[in-house]
Amino acid sequence: MNDTVLSEEVFLPSKGLIYPKELEVPKSIVVCPFKTKDLMGLFSNSESSINTLIKNCIVGDLKINIKDLHIEDRTALFTRIRAITLGSYYNTKRECPTCHKTFEVSWDLNNIECEYLDIDEYPIPITLPASQNNISFGFVMPNEYEEIKDLIEKRKKQFPDKEFDEEEEFSFYYTACTIKRIDNIIPSLESRLEFLLELPPEDFSYLRFLINSINFGMNNRKYVTCPHCKAETISVLAITEQFFRNTYEIPAGIRVHKGILGCAPTKNV
């Protein structure tokens, strides 16, 4: 491989601004390519094995655990680790929603747009427009995702007969998690949820607006045109196990061909 690099400095989309100061998360992290041994366990598709792979590729020490990095920072890191290990071109398959035929979508990992966070203070102090409550707004971190999942499971068990729209419930909990401080106190997820449910709907809409407006990270989607029916559709760059595998051509001179399993009667010996 000609374009292999030994290491590379990756600028985090969060610029390290969203982590507690004592964790000293830098604005950029140096990574190196992964080796075959780092692939072990990766194809079980578990998140912890992807985190281990990233950890093995980080040059120098980090105080923060990889699993505690915001998902957009982690995605940026493993996109670059993939690019410097297997090359920047990555092909995915997309099924056309109109004609249902499959086609290939190419990504150049050296040219992915990224939104970088630009803030003066974190968590971000805001005043809710209707209630005039002063709160601090922030991003949902991996440990909070886990808390949301646990709380949803707990509620499901608590109210087994209740109609349960998991997606809607998730969206409320997610929004509650963006409330980092109420009157300068750090509340539990449950009290944030109680606070949110009592807010005027305008305040809830405002929080949803902030979530959708200040999302940082790589732009992992693009418009593509189906080569079969010319319909336009959106393709998403998903980080799956495939992301860590290359596609190859069989070397010249090697072939296999289909046939019926061969046998022929012989004279008695």
Query: DSSP assignment, residue 58?
Result: B
**How is residue 201 written in tokens?**
């709907």
Integer Cα distance of 257 and 260 in angstroms: 10
Closest distance of CB 227 from Zn ion, Å:
8
- Helical spans, DSSP H, in the chain: 47-56, 71-86, 142-158, 166-177, 189-197, 201-213
Could you give the 3-state DSSP secondary structure of residue 211? helix
Q: Which is nearer to Zn ion, 35 or 100 (CB)?
A: 100
Long-range contacts of 117-126 (CB under 8 A, 24+ apart): 117/13, 117/14, 117/15, 117/17, 117/18, 117/214, 117/216, 118/15, 119/17, 122/17, 122/18, 123/180, 123/181, 126/210
Q: What is the pattern of x (binds Zn ion, CB under 5 A) and - over residues 11-40?
A: ------------------------------
Q: Which is nearer to Zn ion, 41 or 97 (CB)?
A: 97
Q: Is 98 in the site for Zn ion (CB under 5 A)?
A: yes
Closest distance of CB 219 from Zn ion, Å:
23
Q: Which is nearer to Zn ion, 28 or 102 (CB)?
A: 102
Closest distance of CB 234 from Zn ion, Å:
13
Binder of Zn ion out of 5, 99, 130, 236 (CB under 5 A) = 99
Closest distance of CB 266 from Zn ion, Å:
55
Q: Which is nearer to Zn ion, 20 or 227 (CB)?
A: 227
HSE on the CB side for 99, CA within 13 Å?
11
> Restricting to residues 178-237, which ones interact with Zn ion according to CB under 5 A?
226, 228-229, 231
Candidates 6-14, 95-103, 115-123, 234-242; binding stretch for Zn ion (CB under 5 A): 95-103
Q: Which is nearer to Zn ion, 93 or 228 (CB)?
A: 228
> Restricting to residues 123-162, which ones interact with Zn ion according to CB under 5 A?
none
Integer Cα distance of 195 and 261 in angstroms: 71
Closest distance of CB 108 from Zn ion, Å:
23
Task: Give the binding-site size for Zn ion (rule: CB under 5 A).
Answer: 7
Closest distance of CB 100 from Zn ion, Å:
7
Nearest to 211 by CA among 219, 199, 203, 220: 203
Nearest to 1 by CA among 253, 189, 174, 248: 248
Given the rule CB under 5 A, which residues bind Zn ion? 96, 98-99, 226, 228-229, 231
